[in-house]
Amino acid sequence: MEISEIRRTVYVGTFIYSTSLTKLEVLENAAVIVGVDKGTILAIEKTVTEETVGLWEGEVGTKIVRAGEGQFFFPGFIDTHIHAPQYPNSGIFGSSTLLDWLDRYTFPLEASLSNPSKAHRVYARCVSRTLSHGTTTAAYYATRDVTSTNILASVCFAAGQRAFVGRCCMDCLSPDYYRDESPAQAIADTKACANYIDKLDPTHALVTPIITPRFAPSCSRELLAGLGAYMAESGLPCQTHISENKAEVAFVAELFPEYDSYASVYDAYGLLQPKTVLAHAIYLSDAEIALVKRRGAKVSHCPVSNTALTSGAAKVRRLLDEGIVVGLGTDVSGGYSPSILEAARQATMTSRFVALTDGEAAKLGVEEALYLATRGGAEVLGLEKKVGAFELGMEWDAILVGLTDVPEELGEVVGGGMGPVDVFGWESWLEKVAKWVYCGDDRNVLKVWVSGKIVHNKPEQ
């Protein structure tokens, strides 16, 4: 049978996904039927017999993909905040905090990516790595360079990763060697990148431009106003940073004395919208939380970065209780890991520090962290009807997860080459999921699909 004749793929085995913030659904011996042309879920059979699978196998145009014993399908991860050009600095941040970290580590590396061949090398590696960790959708910051930003869009498109790609706008307070020359130029360059993506992927099925003022301190009022106007006119989403670090919050108050808060600055320029992704949101005041909620803006929680840069711990439970939509971000390279599984793990860990002062209810559990990593992230990026779970009509953005069975019989003492999650055989599915969240890594991500197409296939070991 020719590949081109395949009309639908039937995924068979165990499926796990969030049905709410606190509930993971486990479907064993189930099947999900995906149409090949649009990559959407056509049917979900909660229980199937081998006889049924046998009938499907006999059908012309149907391909069967099975999760092996102990393996499970899970929705692809959604990274709502990642700086692709900073990827080579992962792990290199010393004892810095936000503002000195930007000057010392970040701006020099980002500026150097105006070299297209360097940009291509870095972006290809970054996208390859995020895919191998199971990130099916990512909201990327690029650099302020147009060509290099377009290279990132092309790399995502070619690799088949669902992506938002934003040229980084910054016409103030950045070093001479790395600053937009004027608000007008910054806006023109932003539009140039959007136009490039419009040609690359006219329907934005995979890659979407995203308006990206770096953060308030690096943007003039004129630039913020221009980007707000462009957002209104284009309908494009927007991403920026907010309230990551106490010194930054004080700096914004000094730079924008006419506004009563950091959130008010973005709001004044029309940038606080339902399609706005705000990274960090650690020190929002009650009034800012109310404003963010009123505007329907979303939050990207980046726990690894927040701890690494001594920024603090976002009060995620509070934001969720207020009804604000929250997803997870790796924030590479403020965060050292390109893995959303690691972000989920550290979201539970940083929440425990919040719990030490705010009480046990502040803790996030495994279920909640995985919700943020999938459905939460999807809603942050306006994709909640499309990805983040296994539901009728959603696209098949998924990963196949495999764990390691510890042999019953004592064999030789072996080490490398095997995945990091040991299953002894007595664990429930939810315990296996907990082991995966705390002990797992990219070795457990065996296959990755976006919109029904395979985009990562781990070599057999």
Residues of this chain that bind a second copy (CB under 8 A)? 87-88, 90-92, 94-95, 120-122, 124-125, 127-129, 131-132, 159, 307-308, 310, 312-313, 336-337, 349, 352-353, 355-356, 360, 363, 365, 406, 408, 410, 413-417, 420-422, 424, 427, 431, 434-439, 441-443, 445-446, 456, 458-459, 461
Nearer to a second copy, 109 or 170 (CB): 109
Nearer to a second copy, 183 or 402 (CB): 402
Pairing mode, strands 41-45 and 404-405: unpaired
User: What's the min distance (Å) between Cβ of 354 and a second copy?
Assistant: 10
Residue 367's Cα: distance from chain center in Å?
17
Nearer to a second copy, 84 or 159 (CB): 159
Residue 275 amino acid letter? K
User: What's the min distance (Å) between Cβ of 367 and a second copy?
Assistant: 10
Nearer to a second copy, 125 or 295 (CB): 125
Give 175: exposed, middle or buried? Use CB within 10 Å, 0-12, 13-18, 19+. exposed
3-state SS assignment for residue 174: coil
For tokens 């009022």, name the residue.
221
Q: Are 349 and 366 in contact (CB under 8 A)?
A: no
The tokens for 287 are 């009034």
Give whole-number Cα distances, 285 to 67, 277, 314, 351, in Å: 46, 18, 12, 18
Nearer to a second copy, 229 or 418 (CB): 418
User: What's the min distance (Å) between Cβ of 352 and a second copy?
Assistant: 4
Helix extents (H) in 91-206: 98-101, 107-112, 116-132, 146-159, 183-200
User: What's the min distance (Å) between Cβ of 137 and a second copy?
Assistant: 17
User: What's the min distance (Å) between Cβ of 226 and a second copy?
Assistant: 35
User: What's the min distance (Å) between Cβ of 82 and a second copy?
Assistant: 15
How far apart, in whole angstroms, are the C-alpha atoms of residue 85 and residue 280?
19
Give 52: exposed, middle or buried? Use CB within 10 Å, 0-12, 13-18, 19+. middle
Q: Which residues pair with residue 25 across a beta bridge?
A: 17
Q: Are 126 and 338 in contact (CB under 8 A)?
A: yes
Nearer to a second copy, 43 or 418 (CB): 418
User: What's the min distance (Å) between Cβ of 158 and a second copy?
Assistant: 8
Nearer to a second copy, 167 or 456 (CB): 456
The tokens for 422 are 């040991």
User: What's the min distance (Å) between Cβ of 206 and a second copy?
Assistant: 15
Q: Is the peptide bond before 132 cis (omega within 30 degrees of 0)?
A: no
Nearer to a second copy, 9 or 112 (CB): 112
Nearer to a second copy, 273 or 307 (CB): 307
Q: Are 300 and 327 in contact (CB under 8 A)?
A: yes
Pairing mode, strands 162-166 and 8-20: unpaired
Helix extents (H) in 201-281: 221-234, 246-255, 262-268
User: What's the min distance (Å) between Cβ of 459 and a second copy?
Assistant: 5
Nearer to a second copy, 120 or 204 (CB): 120
Dihedral sign for Cα atoms in the order 300, 301, 303, 309: positive
Nearer to a second copy, 4 or 461 (CB): 461
User: What's the min distance (Å) between Cβ of 355 and a second copy?
Assistant: 6
User: What's the min distance (Å) between Cβ of 138 and a second copy?
Assistant: 14
Q: Which of 196, 73, 81, 55 is nearest to 454 (CA)?
A: 73
Q: Are 315 and 306 in contact (CB under 8 A)?
A: no
Q: Which of 192, 195, 163 is nearest to 180 (CA)?
A: 192
Torsion of CA 384, 391, 342, 89, to 10 degrees: -50
